[in-house]
């Protein structure tokens, strides 16, 4: 699928445990972190950073052992100083959870929103989900 970043992080297979609902949030955070590191490649020395402003997790189904978790991450919307991430959590082809997260770029000193530069906007746009 064009515009989708998919990743199966090492160690995300279940080994006898039943994942608590909190694990769904950890899966989403891991997917966002990997997306940020591998795709956005933000220079944190720039005096700007992204912060999570809103997180919505949808518990679509249960996840049972044994399972291999894959995380699909893409961009739903790009605003002036923020972008919205959409994610799907999968066990094989079956979606068991989804999430939306609003990320806001802030000035590290003032802690106020600041515009996303054109280079970052282009990198985000390459992963836009239609």
Q: Give 12-58 pLDDT, tens digit per residue.
A: 554 444 456 778 888 899 999 889 888 887 777 889 999 999 999 99
Superfamily the domain 5-125 falls into: Hotdog Thioesterase (3.10.129.10)
Average pLDDT of the segment spanning 65-72: 84
d(C-alpha 78, C-alpha 26), whole Å: 24
Average pLDDT of the segment spanning 57-75: 87
Q: Check whether 10 has a pLDDT greater than 50.
A: no
- H/E run at residue 26: helix 21-35
């Amino acid at each position: 699928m064009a515009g989708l970043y998919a990743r199966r992080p090492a160690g995300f297979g279940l080994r006898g445990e039943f994942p608590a609902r909190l694990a769904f949030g950890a899966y989403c955070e891991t997917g966002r972190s990997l997306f940020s590191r591998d795709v956005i490649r933000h220079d944190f020395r720039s005096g700007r950073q992204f912060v999570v402003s809103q997180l919505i997790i949808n518990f679509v189904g249960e996840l049972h052992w044994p399972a291999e978790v894959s995380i699909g991450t893409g961009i739903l919307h790009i605003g002036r100083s923020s972008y919205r991430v959409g994610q799907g959590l999968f066990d094989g082809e079956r979606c068991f959870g989804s999430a939306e997260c609003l990320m806001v770029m802030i000035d590290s000193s003032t802690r106020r929103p600041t515009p996303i530069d054109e280079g970052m906007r282009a990198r985000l746009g390459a992963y836009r989900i239609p």
